[in-house]
Chain A
Amino acid sequence: MKLIADRNRCEGHGMCEALAPDLFRVDDDGIVTIATDAVAEADRDLVELAVDSCPVQALSLVREPA
């Protein structure tokens, strides 16, 4: 699975960062940066929760082409 952060949609609410500070960071510009777009299997549930928790749908998970 690949994690995508839409920096145009992001409003910097930081719900993802509060849940998983190692994976998401809201910078001084108020926009999210992700540590990596490759989601480790162990982090998958947490990343899915972060995606569902973004109030403005700035995060998404896509299946990588085989």
Chain B
Amino acid sequence: MSLLLPNKTTTVSDTARHLRTKLSWQVQRAGVKMLRRYHAEVTPLAEPPAGSGLKPTLGDYGPPGIGYTLHTLADPMTFSRERFERLGPVSWLGVLGRQVVTVNGPEAFEEVLMDRKKVFSAQRGWEWLIGPFFHGGVLLRDFDDHMFHRRILQQAFTRPRLVGYQDLTTPLLRRGITSWQPAPDFHLHTAVKQLLLHQATEVFVGAQLGPESVALAHAFDDAVHGGTAMVRANVPGGVWARGLRGRRKLEEYFRREIDAKRAGDGADLFSVLSKATTDEGHTFTDEEVVQHMIFVMLAAHDTSTIATSMLCYELGRHPRWQERLREEARALGKDSLGYDDLDSMPLLDMAFKEALRMYAPVAQQARETIADTDICGHFVPKGTLVMCGPYMMMRMAKCWSDPDEFDPERFSPERREDKAHRFAWSPFGGGAHKCIGLYFGGMTVKAVLHQMLLNFRWSVPEGYEPLLVAGTGPTPADGLPIRLERITR
């Protein structure tokens, strides 16, 4: 099996996808313009219990039915800044037919994500958004059950395992990137997506590239997009229905292969997961291995693709930074970045952190309250969906100087703006659900950049801004064209 699409199919389907995305984005913008005249009274989400001393959570549903769904999709940054200025760090609004509490700011993030009172359910929050496609994944589990699964899953993310994945990844990235053909409008996001699907095929699934690929790549893509459906029902031909079909195909594939994985000695994630055992002797059932595989692929793929693409975009706009990183890459004197080399690349690390700060690849964290509670003193009743958006939070002027500027130096030892608060920089979330693959993701992005810096120089036209649409995080919908030139070393 392979998740990599043959070149030709990719080109055709990507052009169609780009057009479809652009069109739906324009419809969203037009919708927002039409709804702009709408003005609502701000009301409490619920009255705080008498004598509790809690403040109400203020907000409004927005236009009847649709609420602010289009606003949060079309231009989430401007919209959330306006809400924050008017309503503060904890407020509510209507999205996708529900009343949703949105929180902003590191203090509120810490309360929700560290969840010391154990009242914020990730399972209930995420189940509502992506449950049918990613049911049983580690983020769709809570409390003791979650911890039980995380401890088994963690066996696949120990340092020796990461080194093993790095060894599998390095040669395929080098081959893939050196074969890129320079062009004045090289679609970087498309190329990185394909490259990392190749990585998913070999490093996660432990399979070789082959002709079976197209259907499974689409199955995966469809499952990912299922959760973004506006019509959240199984309507034939709809995004939701395609997502369910994608999930089914992935399940069938993984179920079919699992016995061979258990019997083999592969270093790929699928092999490791199918055999993962804690010291107490706990293992995953077949069904659980399938659930975790599908979820881990979701969690790893689009996120690393966004981080790589947006970092390259900023380096295309900032040639001085690109050159500094290239000097650092050359100074290492190695064709490929090994696990132990990551420590020797401080500039690359700062630039990587800055890209995550500006373009959080997971733009929202979802939770649902399982009891009446409060966030920073604002009353939130049981059964409320709570959304924490690191994308917006990491652009707050409160913590960051010139938050919309690409400035990796803010992470330098002299400045360390991220130390303003332990949750000021939290692209990987925090608490029990903190991203288990954060280091693996960093390794991947840095390994891609290392190859790109040694083999190519790139730029984007003056004033070019990619069309960013809502995916797992801000996703360039135009393929992110860059001018790519090969360099001699």
Contact = CB atoms under 8 A, between A and B. Distances in A.
Contacts of A56: 343
A49 B151 contact: yes
A48 interface: yes
Nearest to A12: B422
B162 A55 contact: yes
Interface string B141-182: 000000000110011011110100000000000000000000
B86 interface: no
B419 A19 contact: no
B283 to A, nearest CB: 15
B292 interface: no
Nearest to A18: B434
A52 B154 CA distance: 9
Contacts of A54: 159
B432 A14 contact: no
B154 A19 contact: yes
Contacts of B158: 49, 52-53
Interface in A9-49: 13-15, 17-19, 21, 26-30, 45-46, 48-49
Interface residues of A, number: 22
B232 to A, nearest CB: 31
A55 B154 CA distance: 12
A54 B157 CA distance: 9
B6 interface: no
Given A19-B150, A45-B278, A53-B157, A28 B421 contact: yes
B280 A13 contact: no
Q: Is the interface of B mostly helix, strand, loop or mixed?
A: helix
Task: Give the interface residue-count category, chain B.
Answer: 20 to 34
Interface string B435-473: 010110000000000000000000000000000000000
Given A13-B438, A14-B430, A18-B434, A52 B159 contact: yes
B279 A55 contact: no
B139 to A, nearest CB: 12
Contacts of A53: 154, 157-159
Contacts of B419: 28-30
B159 to A, nearest CB: 6
Contacts of A55: 159, 162, 439
Contact of A30 (B155, B422, B438): B422
B154 A26 contact: no
B31 interface: no
B116 to A, nearest CB: 9
B160 A52 contact: yes
Contacts of A14: 430, 434
A28 B420 CA distance: 8
A44 B158 CA distance: 16
A48 B439 CA distance: 19
A19 B434 CA distance: 9
B279 A48 contact: yes
Given A28-B419, A29-B419, A49 B278 contact: yes
B425 to A, nearest CB: 9
Most B-side CB within 10 Å, residue of A14, A18, A21, A27 = A18
Contacts of A45: 278-280
A13 B438 CA distance: 8
A15 B153 CA distance: 12
Contact of A17 (B160, B279, B418, B434): B434
B210 interface: no
B146 to A, nearest CB: 10
B115 to A, nearest CB: 10
Contacts of A28: 419, 421-422
Most B-side CB within 10 Å, residue of A27, A29, A45, A52 = A52
B242 interface: no
A21 B278 contact: no
A29 B421 CA distance: 8
Interface string B117-150: 0000000000000000000000000000000001
Given A18-B436, A52-B160, 8 more contacts: A18-B432, A18-B434, A28-B421, A28-B422, A46-B151, A49-B154, A53-B154, A54-B159
28 contacts: A13-B439, A14-B430, A14-B434, A15-B436, A17-B434, A18-B431, A18-B434, A18-B436, A19-B150, A19-B151, A21-B114, A27-B422, A29-B419, A30-B418, A45-B278, A45-B280, A46-B151, A49-B151, A49-B158, A49-B278, A49-B279, A53-B154, A53-B157, A53-B158, A54-B159, A55-B162, A55-B439, A56-B343
The 9 closest A-B pairs by CB, nearest first: A55-B439, A45-B279, A52-B158, A18-B434, A28-B422, A53-B158, A14-B434, A53-B154, A49-B154
